[in-house]
Amino acid sequence: MNNSKVEIEKKYIIELPSVKSMESMPGYDRSDITQIYLMSVKGVTHRIRRRVQSGNVTFTETKKVRIDRMSAFEDEREIGREDYERLYCNIDPETRPIIKTRHTFTYLGQLFEIDVYPEWQHNAILETELDDREKTVDFPPFIKIVREVTGDKRYSNAGMSRAFPKE
């Protein structure tokens, strides 16, 4: 893998905002994502992702090692369709694919990612990466926080691939 970094992020369950509100934000983009979790050694989350964005399809492979509830060491690389299909054969049999629509935009210089899942009608997951763990997050006015779930494994995509939580 060749794009290693430490990722510091906060995660929230939010009330599902209108697409119109998100589209009005600077840097708005939308992508459809399928994530597959692969068998891996204990302590390592290994996934592959297919992303369709503006008609383009990309594939990535990611390995994550959790440092603490807010941060993880992340190693990610782009792969080809053939590698994706080969790695797909190693799907963890205790998981199911995660399918979501991701809406991204910036607000006051902060990048927001809102994942909308077909299993939920009223809520979504908001993630924001931070460059400093002490930084406070300023939310756009249309975002209604239900609760913070940073570090709650039930709301990680890997956890949701095993047992999708009810709203």
Mean pLDDT of 61-85: 91
CA distance 102 to 99: 10
Residue 130: the pLDDT is 83
Residue 118, pLDDT > 90, answer yes
103-131 burial code (b ≥16 CB/10 A, e <16)? bbbebeebebbbbbbeebeebbbbbbebe
Structural domain contains residue 23: yes
Beta pairing, strands 29-38 & 98-107: antiparallel
Residue 98: the pLDDT is 98
**pLDDT confidence tier of residue 136, bands split at 50, 70 and 90:** confident
Structural domain contains residue 126: yes
pLDDT digits 0-9 by tens, 153-164: 999 999 999 999
Mean pLDDT of 65-82: 90
**How many structural domains compose the chain?**
1
161 to 70, 84, 110, 126, 128: CA distances (angstroms): 20, 18, 28, 17, 21
Structural domain contains residue 100: yes
Residue 135: the pLDDT is 79
Could you tell me the CATH number of the domain that includes residue 112?
Answer: 2.40.320.10
CA distance 90 to 39: 6
pLDDT digits 0-9 by tens, 74-90: 899 999 999 999 999 99
Alpha-carbon dihedral sign for residues 79, 164, 111, 70: negative
Q: What is the DSSP letter of 91?
A: B
**H or E segment to which residue 82 belongs:** helix 81-88
Whole-model pTM?
Answer: 0.90
Residue 129: the pLDDT is 85
Q: Tell me, what amino acid is at 22?
A: M
Full residue range of the structural domain in which residue 56 is found: 4-162
Structural domain contains residue 167: no
Structural domain contains residue 127: yes
Q: 159 — alpha (psi -120 to 50), left (phi > 0) or beta?
A: alpha
pLDDT digits 0-9 by tens, 1-58: 556 666 678 999 999 999 999 999 999 999 999 999 999 999 899 999 999 999 999 9
CA distance 42 to 156: 16
